[in-house]
Amino acid sequence: MHNNLIKHFIVGLIIFSNFSFGKEFSELFTIYEPIKNSSNIEKSINISFNKMVYRLSGSDSPSNIWKIINSGVSRKDLIISYSIKNIDDLSYLQVNFDQSLIIKAFNNLSIPVVGYSRPVVFFLIEIDSGSEAPYFLSSAISPRRVDNILKDNMNKLSQDRGIFLELPIFDLEDTKTLSSMSVFNSPNEYISSKYNYDNLIQIKITNSGLGEWVISGDINKSFIGNNFYQDLEEVFSQFLIKLIDQNLNDLAIVTSKNSELYISLQGISSFDSYTESRQYLERFIGIKTLEIVSFKDNIITFKAKIVGDEAKLAKTIKNSSFLNIIDENNTNKSLSLEYIK
């Protein structure tokens, strides 16, 4: 199954890490689509285009795809390049989309856009199969079928939709601490306190008898019969899709709305820090243009033309690793930031 292997080459995008808050999806405009042979390139391009629209709009509704197609825009007009990549003995079509053209198409059709900054959803999944001691699902390689069903779904949807679905990493100290905890301790609190995230999901999967499984926590479902693995995959996949839609919708920018905002940026001590910080600001899809208004005491102020509302832009900036929000004033249309070198 390609889901098992795709995680090896997207690890640079979706890293299970203790430093997982405020991430940017660096290859936002690149899609990797499995391909069996060169005769399937046209089909793979179409699928890649669909995934690009889903990822950028934050919604898996096909209506946005048809809006673009019916507007007369050709899929291939939005592509910079494509090539076949051989990864782990499997072939993938790497499709690079033109950021400016596809954003223009979205703007013209008033399709909401989610930029580079993407939410981090952290998963605490405890599994009690009855045949071994209960354990928490981690990012480590596992031979268990249950583990791989869950992780394959997370990896695939993380890549397709452009969101960080993350699991903990346990070192020897963690393993020792968790094994020595009594019933009065909370392993969930211990694990979750070590990570930063936008949303915490807690799930427990329990084998309660012969052919009987119960899922509790943020998913509540019970299964009886011999189709547990298939049922688990279907329920978990549906849960992830709904979860992703909700998280990305919170960041979606309504491109039909335009306004101006004054952005003050502290910590500009050199020309290099100015150019670097400006490049970071210009990466936010909600910012259309930046005009310098003043520069004094290492603080530079821009008048920015933005799409969407100020609150959505501020929420997106909060996910940045390079900018801190110091003050936000929607009444005065101003935003005060600090550049982190």
Q: Which amino acid, residue 144?
A: R
Rounding to the nearest 10 degrees, give the CA dihedral for residues 313, 315, 319, 321: 60
What per-residue string of b and e applies to 93-105 under the rule 16 or more CB within 10 Å gives b? Answer: bbbebebeebbeb
- What span, in angstroms and rounded, lies between the C-alpha atoms of 115 and 33? 21
53-67, 185-199, 261-275, 291-305: range with lowest mean pLDDT: 185-199
pTM here is 0.82
Domain range 258-339, CATH class: alpha beta
- pLDDT digit string, tens, across residues 52-95: 999 999 998 899 999 999 999 999 999 999 999 888 788 899 99
- pLDDT digit string, tens, across residues 129-154: 988 889 999 999 999 999 999 999 99
- pLDDT digit string, tens, across residues 26-49: 899 999 999 887 778 899 999 999
- Are the C-beta atoms of residues 110 and 255 closer than 8 Å to each other? yes
In percent, how much of the chain has pLDDT > 90? Answer: 51
pLDDT > 70? residue 22: no
Output DSSP code: residue 253.
Answer: B
Range(s) of the chain covered by CATH 3.30.70: 258-339
- pLDDT digit string, tens, across residues 151-199: 999 999 999 999 999 999 988 888 888 877 765 567 888 898 888 898 9
39-43, 155-159, 228-232, 261-265: range with lowest mean pLDDT: 39-43
pLDDT tier for residue 5 given thresholds of 50, 70 and 90: very low
Strands in 178-284 per DSSP E: 199-209, 212-217, 221-224, 258-266
Q: What's residue 184's pLDDT? A: 57
